[in-house]
Structure 1
Amino acid sequence: MKSDIDVDTDVAVIGAGPAGAMAAALLVRCGLKVQVLERSHFPRFSIGESLLPQCMHYLDDAGLLTAVEAGGFQPKNGAVFTRRDHEAVIDFRDKFTDGWGTTYQVERADFDQRLIEAAAAQGARVAFGVTVTSFRPDPQRPSLTYIDESGQETTLTAGFVLDASGYGRVLARLLGLGRDPRLETRMALFAHVEEQIREPTFDRDKILIGVHPDDDSLWYWLIPFAHGRASVGVVGSMQALSAGGGDSERRWQQLIDAEPRFSKLLRGARTTRPVASLQGYSADVSRLHGPGYALLGNAGEFLDPVFSSGVTIALRSAHQAAPLVARQLRGDTIDWHNEFERPLRQGIETFRAFVEAWYDGRLPSIIFHDAHPATIKRMISSVLAGYAWDTANPFVSGAQRRLTTLAELCGHTQAVPGENP
């Protein structure tokens, strides 16, 4: 990869994760000079390991899919939900929206490196170990200051700046764009394991999502990787995940042991990464764009890990922003609110409706109901496969209302905050 930094470039991209790699690849295909600035060194660990099929379209469009397919990642075609020995299966290949029905479960260190290397091979410049410390918005020539690992401070000027810094949320922090997230603050405990699963009924091509048998607010993920490895996590309130004292590993193991399906599958599993925690991960901003800049993926908003929407939103945001940046630099006037922020947030709001319905019990009542018309199941499968922008799907165009109605038909009786009876 080209490591020298172009301090006068067409587009500067902060962050070399999936959104940054996607944006860089698309922009160099438009004939633009692109400089990516990344604080860490790759490969580096990240969570967000279960992709959705909608991602495949974006990766293909940016010329990144071949690099992903060469990675030998674990295929994924759906999700299995388990609660007190009751299982429900969502197959992404059987869905309402046309498009990809399969994808991958990925170890992000390898996945992210493959993406940014592929973007660099297309012509993007990438610099690692540099930290952006200030930013000056400007509709024509925004600029930023960064410090390299030797402590040298440099100013970079660009025609446009895209923030793909993920949880670092560089521009939101520097410009004071953050606002309180609308989702409740939660915590995750997670680890990588050598899982040694031999049970013939276990479907490695699907993520396994479990619900604690005694506390519906706690849920689990088991993401199978290739070669007998897996990511295993537990999500709940900070109070619930801190209960019982002890260190993170002990609490993680106690929670795994409490869920019958997970306990059985992971008997004999060995952790290969120490149990880690992440809390307060949900984030939102007052706006996703400004003079000479736009925010991509987690740098703008992150919801919740339950339906693996993070990478999909990241790739979607880059896929949507890149052609607008190219047009603006050619002299077109771009309505960033109506051409970028508004349509992007429409899909995010669909995912948010599903996340809220998961935690208030409506969605579990739907998923674990034994008899669904095939058409409705296919509509829900489409959203869970990442097609949250397909407004022809009634569970996209009217997600909150239709989830409430369907949940009531499935026997859910608890009132939903903010909803009229």
Structure 2
Amino acid sequence: MYDVVIIGAGPSGSTAAAFCHNAGLKVRIVEKSTMPKFVIGESLLANCNNILEEAGLLEVIENHGFQYKNGAAFSWRDEYTYFDFLDKSSVGAGTTFQVQRAEFDKLLVDEVIKKGVEVSFNTEVVDAKFSDECATLIIKDENENKKELKAKFILDASGYGRVLPRILNLEKPSILPVRTAYFTHIEDNITEPLYDRNKILITTHPTMRDVWFWLIPFSNGRCSIGVVGEKDRINPDDLTSEITLKTHVYKAPMLKRLLNNASWDMEVKTLNGYSKDVKALYGKRFALLGNATEFLDPVFSSGVTIALYSSKLASKCLIKTLKNEDVDWEKEYKDELMLGVNAFRTYVNGWYDGAFQDVIYTKNKNIKIKRMISSILAGYAWDRQNPFVVKSDEKLKTLAAFC
């Protein structure tokens, strides 16, 4: 019997495996597919580096040659502004990376394999049962052979697969509107001398402020480009994904200038209704991590940060549980995780209703407040010393009115 079986070999699964293995637990990961695989969520936040370092996984990422990232830039029509993650109010890393997720995810899982964690690829979880004695997963390999896998605890890091939420009927609709993302990778051929490849560029649509673009540069001269909005807003005529993305990209003045010579050499993909929620984050012998819990929106690149932070919190609670130490999962996992998730939710909602955009694009920036906002954008959404975290709704409303 394993101490813990982890469903999914993405960033949250690999990071949880590292934390648990480092604590001496017997760990196994089961992954439905193989690595590498194409995934978006490519712009990390600075707080990711702290968690990866604590798990013993940062060095392999630092040595790979990913695109250095030190902040986030924003553009709307002819306006441009940016936040430097080194200039923030929270203590911790101020830089990170922009990564091709296929490479990033594989590096992490390969590293935990090197540490001694057992990983089974092409292995699907088809059912789960929980008792007082153990948890039992029914798994199926690539040859359709089924068998039981027993563990003292299960961590679900299955991402959009949401294995345990489906099996245990934990899914519930997100309160966020249904939005669609059209995205691809391109050879960007950017020659603009002032363009800063060290920052993600988030662009507001010139005529629809609830529609936005991401431009994430990689170290190999390519970039990830995407447009996000409600489908009826960005594709009312049901055009192809490629036409939809290109049409909107070239309406944005800065993107049109930057990508004038881009080579669109990959298929444009679509992700619809990506926001998710669950009824519970943990239960008898299980906990949910990352996108298997709740996914908000890609606008501030919070997905991987929430995934890694959830892995850190859940692993610490699990280690204490298996050592028969006192642990309060409600307080130490659910409440702590949701502090940051709810802070991010405030600014996601504020982005789409325009309040947070008003703050970002204002000409009259208070330096102290800007550093607090920079901390949140850098992934420090659990910093209880930051009033824009602990009183996010109140503070954003007041600040937006001032701006």
**Equivalent residue number for residue 341 of structure 1:** 334
DSSP 3-state at the match of 1:232: strand
In the TM superposition, 1:408-419 aligns within 5 A as 408-410=401-403
d(CA) in 1 for partners of 2:263, 2:130: 49
**Equivalent residue number for residue 236 of structure 1:** 229
CA contact (8 A) 1:244 1:251 kept: no
d(CA) in 2 for partners of 1:272, 1:156: 43
Identify the match of residue 105 of structure 2 among 112, 123, 131.
112
**Equivalent residue number for residue 118 of structure 2:** 125
Shift of 1:306: 0.1
1:300 lines up with 2:297 in the alignment: no
1:134 lines up with 2:127 in the alignment: yes
Identify the match of residue 103 of structure 1 among 96, 100, 103.
96
d(CA) in 1 for partners of 2:142, 2:4: 22
Deviations 1:288-347 (CA, angstroms, capped at 9, x unpaired): 000000000001110000000000000000011112111111222432111111110111
Deviations 1:353-381 (CA, angstroms, capped at 9, x unpaired): 01001001000100100111110000000
Identify the match of residue 324 of structure 2 among 331, 335, 338.
331
Compared CA separation, residues 328 and 140, structure 1 to 2 (3 A): farther
d(CA) in 1 for partners of 2:342, 2:260: 38
CA contact (8 A) 1:137 1:290 kept: no
**Equivalent residue number for residue 417 of structure 1:** none
Identify the match of residue 397 of structure 2 among 394, 404, 409.
404
**Equivalent residue number for residue 395 of structure 1:** 388
Identify the match of residue 247 of structure 2 among 233, 236, 254.
254
CA contact (8 A) 2:382 2:389 kept: yes
Q: Percent identity?
A: 46
> Match for 2:194: what amino acid?
T
DSSP 3-state at the match of 2:92: coil
1:10 lines up with 2:14 in the alignment: no
Root-mean-square deviation (CA), in Å? 0.9
Identify the match of residue 263 of structure 1 among 232, 244, 256.
256
CA contact (8 A) 2:210 2:351 kept: no
Deviations 1:200-253 (CA, angstroms, capped at 9, x unpaired): 110000000101111111100000001110000000001122224321111111
CA contact (8 A) 2:136 2:148 kept: yes
**Equivalent residue number for residue 287 of structure 1:** 280
DSSP 3-state at the match of 1:270: coil
> Match for 2:157: what amino acid?
A
**Equivalent residue number for residue 65 of structure 1:** 58
Moved more, 294-303 or 259-268: 259-268
DSSP 3-state at the match of 1:89: strand
Unpaired segments of 5 or more residues in structure 2?
none
**Equivalent residue number for residue 268 of structure 2:** 275
d(CA) in 2 for partners of 1:90, 1:69: 22
d(CA) in 2 for partners of 1:105, 1:38: 24
CA contact (8 A) 1:217 1:359 kept: yes
d(CA) in 1 for partners of 2:261, 2:120: 42
> Match for 2:74: what amino acid?
F
**Equivalent residue number for residue 52 of structure 1:** 45
Aligned length: 403
d(CA) in 2 for partners of 1:333, 1:143: 24
Unpaired segments of 5 or more residues in structure 1?
1-7, 411-421
d(CA) in 2 for partners of 1:395, 1:331: 36
**Equivalent residue number for residue 167 of structure 2:** 174
